[in-house]
Amino acid sequence: MTHLAWNAKEATVGELAERSGVAPSALRFYEREGLISSRRTTGNQRRYSRDTLRRVAFIRTSQRLGIPLATIREVLGLLPEDRTPTPEDWARISECWREDLGRRIRTLQRLRDNLTDCIGCGCLSLDRCVLSNPADELATHGPGPRRLIED
């Protein structure tokens, strides 16, 4: 077991994996996808700068929220490449999620509130379920479950 020293400027794949809680294979995947980067030693071993820990934490948290990797990559591209990102840099890119997260929260709240009766009784009765859509009236509003996705 390798430990990342508190004052280490770089980390091996194993050190970064242990410290971040992300499997080495996931770190290599993130690198292939352009989410993180490393330099190579003369022996062709990866070395990650210490600030990669924050990027990995950001990636994992974003994934848990259901944010697609392409969107995560796009936002990470807003961080400076010539220096370690500052707290202000992180705050700026975190704002990119605010509107999307608010929309997701509202959708989840509607889902929770509208499915309570159906989940509770198990009947999925279309004549009294607030999610039912007789004669497909909501099709004029667009595809998908309109009552759950519209504000």
DSSP string, 105-146: HHHHHHHHHHHHHHHHH----TTT-TT--GGGGGGGG-SS-H
**Residue with the two structure tokens 């004669």:** 135
Mapping DSSP to helix (H, G, I), strand (E, B) and coil, where does residue 76 land? helix
pLDDT at 148: 64
Residue 150 pLDDT more than 70? no
Which is higher by pLDDT, 114 or 85?
Answer: 85
Backbone angles phi, psi at 129, to 5 degrees: -75, 130
What Cα–Cα distance (Å) separates residue 6 from each residue in 80, 86, 120, 137?
Answer: 23, 18, 51, 60
Helix axes 69-76, 52-64, angle to 10 degrees: 140
- Using one digit for the tens of pLDDT, what is the confidence trace for 13-26? 999 999 999 999 99
